[in-house]
Amino acid sequence: MNSLRHDWTLSEITALFVQPFNDLLFQAHRLHREHFDPNHVQVSTLLSIKTGACPEDCAYCSQSARNDADVERERLLPLDEVVAKAKTAKLNGATRFCMGAAWRNPTDRNLDKVIDMIEAVHALGLETCVTLGMLTRQQSIRLKQAGLDYYNHNLDTSPEYYGDIITTRTYQDRLDTLEHVRDAGINVCCGGILGMGEQQQDRVSLLQQLANLPKHPESVPINMLVQVEGTPLYGAEKLDALDFVRTIAVARILMPCSWVRLSAGRSDMSDEMQALCFFAGANSIFYGDKLLTTSNPDENQDRMLFDKLGINTEQQAAQDLGSIASA
Question: Which of these is catalytic: 98, 169, 203, 266?
Answer: 98
- Confirm whether 261 is a catalytic residue: yes
For helices 137-145 and 171-184, what crossing angle results, to 10°?
40
Query: For the CA atoms of the chain, what is the radius of gyration?
Result: 19
Distance CA 177, CA 188 (A): 10
Which 3 state secondary structure label does DSSP give 45? strand
Question: Which of these is catalytic: 189, 190, 246, 252?
Answer: 189
Residue pair 193/264 in contact by the 8 Å Cβ criterion: yes
Q: 42: burial class by Cβ within 10 Å (0-12, 13-18, 19+)?
A: middle
Question: Which of these is catalytic: 58, 182, 190, 203?
Answer: 58
Q: List CB contacts of 297: < 8 A, sequence separation 6 or more.
A: 266, 267, 289, 305
Distance CA 47, CA 84 (A): 11
- Confirm whether 190 is a catalytic residue: no
Residue pair 287/92 in contact by the 8 Å Cβ criterion: yes
Question: Which of these is catalytic: 169, 182, 246, 261?
Answer: 261
Count the neighbouring beta carbons within 10 Å of the beta carbon of residue 11: 8
Residue pair 168/56 in contact by the 8 Å Cβ criterion: yes
Question: Which of these is catalytic: 96, 129, 182, 203?
Answer: 129
Compute the Cα dihedral for 99, 102, 103, 108 and give only its sign: negative
Distance CA 149, CA 261 (A): 16
- Confirm whether 257 is a catalytic residue: no
Count the neighbouring beta carbons within 10 Å of the beta carbon of residue 109: 7
Residue pair 189/216 in contact by the 8 Å Cβ criterion: no
- Confirm whether 61 is a catalytic residue: yes
- Confirm whether 277 is a catalytic residue: no
Question: Which of these is catalytic: 30, 33, 54, 277?
Answer: 54
Active site amino acids: 54, 58, 61, 98, 129, 189, 261
